[in-house]
């Protein structure tokens, strides 16, 4: 019996040969090539622990920076014009990982300095500029942050060269080149960032804030056509954002993902409870099998709308995964109640197609969506009842296997449930009933006071 071909091992061997061939063609030392191989194995080992990370995307970004630097140096362009900060900036914004940004900076610094005539200066400029760039643009939400970072990096590069020259200002043009280099790095990153977002299928904080604008066409449609779903999505977004902050993952991504997770309900908004008339439901006259098809179809419709409006794949994941393959329980129970003797109702036919959430953010939106829906249906919204219900919802999702493919721990789930309980208790808390006639009595007292005689006031003042 022949063993199956391990494609991953073949790819790893070919990648190693490719790195050695690239080193030989560019004149880079074999020591630098060996360093790249070690770095590749490290990244492969760490891949599952770093969110939004693809080894292919990382390698592509490295090859672009390395090739541009190599061509500039080989064509006689002074090394001071090499854009040291572009790679780390892009890595930090695209992968949202300081570790990946610093590793890319280190890889570029070691390999580019290996074929440079002044290797020490190049390596030092790469390390200082790239490390500073990674820190400055970390969590950036405004484009001005990137421009300001370029300005600071330009100044830092000038100071670095002054110290390398031991405070001897010999050739002023080098310092000018380094300062302009830093400014240009920020401007170039701003210009090419949307291209890399499209190529890598990711979304940065800057783009997320643009998508969070309520003037977006999809959100405007929800306000007009499905106002109940729109306001419910805002609540789910707030729950998800707060829960993500509690466990240290991408809160902005979860909030914006929650805004768009139910856009598929725009197809038939009147069939969903938050948009229905209280006195009647569209499902009362439908068979359970037909109702569950309409309900489950909102995931497919949402994915089609996301493609039509060119939403990022990162947001499309929230649409596809916010129910996982969970059971449409209400209509499944209705089908069982209406079951005849010669028929059978299979549970699999009443489950969403999936996939299950594969990131912490999509899993949190799934939990927030379920917890909010269950709490909204409560008749008694006492804090104790909400606490009991939230724990029940999260436990059921855990037991049903909906959280199997994400990295949420039991400790994370405890923090998430605490956040949900606090916010939902504040939203759905019981109101104090006002006694009838209190408003009219207050108005009567107010008018009596205004019409009181001045002499009465004098008597009160003298008494």
CATH code: domain of residue 257 = 1.10.3210
- Beta bridge partner(s), residue 327: 351
- Considering the domain architecture, whether residues 255 and 149 belong to the same structural domain is answered as no
Cα–Cα distance for residue pair 265/304, rounded to 1 Å? 12
Q: Would residue 438 count as lying in a domain?
A: no
- Considering the domain architecture, whether residues 296 and 423 belong to the same structural domain is answered as yes
- Considering the domain architecture, whether residues 41 and 147 belong to the same structural domain is answered as yes
* pLDDT of amino acid 4: 46
- Considering the domain architecture, whether residues 258 and 333 belong to the same structural domain is answered as yes
CA 379 to chain centre: 34
Q: Would residue 440 count as lying in a domain?
A: no
Which residues make Cβ contacts (< 8 Å) with residue 26, sequence separation at least 6? 70, 115
Question: Which 3 state secondary structure label does DSSP give 327?
Answer: strand
CA 131 to chain centre: 24
Question: Which 3 state secondary structure label does DSSP give 415?
Answer: helix
Q: Given its phi and psi angles, is residue 311 left (phi above 0), alpha (psi -120 to 50 degrees) or beta?
A: beta
- Considering the domain architecture, whether residues 221 and 361 belong to the same structural domain is answered as yes
Q: What are phi and psi of 327, to 5 degrees?
A: -90, 135
Structure tokens at 91: 């890595």
Which residues make Cβ contacts (< 8 Å) with residue 179, sequence separation at least 6? 154, 155, 157, 158
Cα–Cα distance for residue pair 102/112, rounded to 1 Å? 15
Q: What is the DSSP letter of 215?
A: T
- The C-alpha angle 187, 192, 195, rounded to 5 degrees, equals 160
- Structural domain total, the chain: 2
pLDDT in tens, 28-82: 555 666 677 777 777 777 766 665 567 778 888 888 888 888 888 778 788 888 8
* pLDDT of amino acid 332: 84
Q: Would residue 49 count as lying in a domain?
A: yes
Q: Would residue 437 count as lying in a domain?
A: no
- Considering the domain architecture, whether residues 288 and 313 belong to the same structural domain is answered as yes
Q: Would residue 451 count as lying in a domain?
A: no
Measuring CA to CA, which residue among 271, 263, 285, 369 is closest to residue 326?
369
- Considering the domain architecture, whether residues 236 and 163 belong to the same structural domain is answered as no
Looking from the CA of 308 toward its CB, the CA atoms found within 13 Å total 10
Cα–Cα distance for residue pair 372/186, rounded to 1 Å? 42
Contact between 91 and 100 (Cβ < 8 Å): yes
* pLDDT of amino acid 88: 93
Q: Would residue 348 count as lying in a domain?
A: yes
Sign of CA dihedral 322, 324, 330, 334: positive
Q: Would residue 328 count as lying in a domain?
A: yes
Point out the domain boundary residue: 200, 215, 235: 200
- Considering the domain architecture, whether residues 178 and 215 belong to the same structural domain is answered as no
Cα–Cα distance for residue pair 105/153, rounded to 1 Å? 14
pLDDT in tens, 223-238: 999 999 999 999 999 9
- Considering the domain architecture, whether residues 178 and 295 belong to the same structural domain is answered as no
CA 440 to chain centre: 51
- Considering the domain architecture, whether residues 168 and 248 belong to the same structural domain is answered as no
Orientation of helix 172-200 relative to helix 86-95, angle to 10°: 30
- Considering the domain architecture, whether residues 163 and 16 belong to the same structural domain is answered as yes
Question: Which 3 state secondary structure label does DSSP give 250?
Answer: coil
Point out the domain boundary residue: 200, 233, 254: 200
- Considering the domain architecture, whether residues 239 and 105 belong to the same structural domain is answered as no
Q: Would residue 436 count as lying in a domain?
A: no
Point out the domain boundary residue: 200, 226, 252: 200
pLDDT tens for the 463 residues of the chain, in order: 444 445 545 555 555 566 556 555 555 555 666 677 777 777 777 766 665 567 778 888 888 888 888 888 778 788 888 888 999 999 999 988 888 899 889 888 888 887 777 788 888 888 999 999 999 999 888 999 999 999 999 999 999 888 888 777 777 888 899 999 999 999 999 999 999 998 888 899 999 999 999 999 999 999 999 999 999 999 999 999 999 999 999 999 999 999 999 999 999 999 998 887 766 777 878 888 898 999 999 999 999 999 999 999 999 999 999 999 999 888 888 888 877 555 677 888 899 998 999 999 999 999 999 999 999 988 888 889 999 999 999 999 999 999 999 889 999 999 999 999 999 999 887 666 656 655 445 554 445 444 544 444 443 444 3
Structure tokens at 411: 């400790």
Range of the domain at 39: 8-200
């Amino acid at each position: 019996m022949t063993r199956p071909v391990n494609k991953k091992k073949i790819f790893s061997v070919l990648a190693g040969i490719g790195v050695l061939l690239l080193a030989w063609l560019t004149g880079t030392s074999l020591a630098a090539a060996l360093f790249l191989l070690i770095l590749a194995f490290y990244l492969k080992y760490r891949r599952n622990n770093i969110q939004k990370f693809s080894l292919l995307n990382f390698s592509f970004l490295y090859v672009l920076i390395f090739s541009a630097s190599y061509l500039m140096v080989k064509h006689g362009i002074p090394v001071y014009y090499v854009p040291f900060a572009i790679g780390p900036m892009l890595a930090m914004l695209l992968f949202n990982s300081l570790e990946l940004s610093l590793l890319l900076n280190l890889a570029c610094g070691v390999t580019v300095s290996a074929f440079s005539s002044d290797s020490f200066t190049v390596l030092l400029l790469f390390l200082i500029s790239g490390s500073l760039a990674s820190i400055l643009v970390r969590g950036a939400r405004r484009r001005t942050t990137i421009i300001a970072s370029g300005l600071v990096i330009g100044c830092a590069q000038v100071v670095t060269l002054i110290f390398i020259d031991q405070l001897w200002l010999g050739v002023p043009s080098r310092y000018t080149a380094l300062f302009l280099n830093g400014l240009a790095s920020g401007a170039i990153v701003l210009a090419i960032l949307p291209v890399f977002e499209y190529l890598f299928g990711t979304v940065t904080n800057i783009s997320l804030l643009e998508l969070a604008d309520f003037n977006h066409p999809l959100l405007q449609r929800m306000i007009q056509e499905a106002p109940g779903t729109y306001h419910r999505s805002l609540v789910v977004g707030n729950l998800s954002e707060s829960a993500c902050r509690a466990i240290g993952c991408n809160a902005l991504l979860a909030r914006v993902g929650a805004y768009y997770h139910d856009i598929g309900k725009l197809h038939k908004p009147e069939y969903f409870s938050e948009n229905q008339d209280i006195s009647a439901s569209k499902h009362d006259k439908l068979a359970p099998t037909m109702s569950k098809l309409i309900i489950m179809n909102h995931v497919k419709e949402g994915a089609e709308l996301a493609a039509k409006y060119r939403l990022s794949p990162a947001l499309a994941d929230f649409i596809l995964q916010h129910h996982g393959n969970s059971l449409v329980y209400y209509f499944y129970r209705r089908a069982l109640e209406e079951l005849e003797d010669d028929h059978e109702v299979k549970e699999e036919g009443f489950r969403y197609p999936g996939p299950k959430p594969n990131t912490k953010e999509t899993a949190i939106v799934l939990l927030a969506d379920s917890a909010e829906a269950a709490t909204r249906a409560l008749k008694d919204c006492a804090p104790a009842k909400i606490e009991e219900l939230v724990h029940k919802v999260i436990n059921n999702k855990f037991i049903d296997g909906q959280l199997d493919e994400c990295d949420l721990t039991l400790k994370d789930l405890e923090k998430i449930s605490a956040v949900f309980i606090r916010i939902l208790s504040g939203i759905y808390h019981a109101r104090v009933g006002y006694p009838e006639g209190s408003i009219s009595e207050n108005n009567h007292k107010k008018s009596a006071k205004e019409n009181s005689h001045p002499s009465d006031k004098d008597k009160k003042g003298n008494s």
